[in-house]
């Protein structure tokens, strides 16, 4: 058993993910390395190669400037409050859009099959969970 598995941690998702664009559970070591920073993975049970969790507060009008390329994970996006329009493009170029407007509305997708984008008109709080395919 490692030090991080024996550790109980409490905190705020927004604070914990401040240095990693909202991602607060995941491969924090790799995120730090990609920025030329150091991170001690034994310092927190939030370090995981199996799951990624993001908490993000989007201001009104916030949108993804470009399509996110297909990736290697399943993703679940869930609206906590506000509104979020999620757009998806499959490998054949067909697009679908979903408006999440009620607390708990979600969309789940197979990352290798879809590029995605998003926009929030009034702003929102949004939770994203990713895990490997």
Per-residue model confidence as pLDDT tens digits over 24-33: 899 988 888 8
Q: What are phi and psi of 30, to 5 degrees?
A: -70, -40
Distance of CA 17 to the CA centre of its chain: 10
Helices (H) and strands (E) in the chain, counts: 2, 9
- Quote the percentage of the chain above a pLDDT of 70: 95
CA distance 131 to 110: 10
Output the pTM of the full model: 0.86
CA distance 58 to 82: 9
pLDDT of residue 8: 79
**Which residue, among 107, 108, 109, 111, has the nearest Cα to 98 in the 3D structure?**
107
Q: Which domains, and CATH codes, for the chain? A: 1-50 (no CATH), 51-133 (2.60.120.10)
């Amino acid at each position: 058993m490692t030090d991080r598995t024996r550790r109980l941690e409490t905190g705020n998702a927004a604070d914990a993910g401040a240095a990693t664009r909202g991602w607060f559970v995941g491969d924090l070591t790799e995120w730090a390395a990609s920025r030329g920073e150091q991170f001690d993975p034994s310092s927190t049970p939030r370090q995981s190669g199996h799951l990624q969790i993001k908490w993000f507060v989007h201001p009104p009008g916030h949108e993804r400037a470009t399509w996110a390329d297909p990736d290697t994970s399943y993703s679940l996006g869930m609206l906590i409050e506000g509104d979020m329009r999620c757009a998806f493009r499959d490998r054949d170029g067909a697009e679908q859009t979903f408006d999440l407007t009620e607390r708990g509305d979600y969309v789940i997708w197979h990352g290798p099959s879809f590029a995605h984008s998003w926009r929030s008109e009034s702003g929102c709080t949004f939770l994203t969970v990713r895990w490997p395919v």
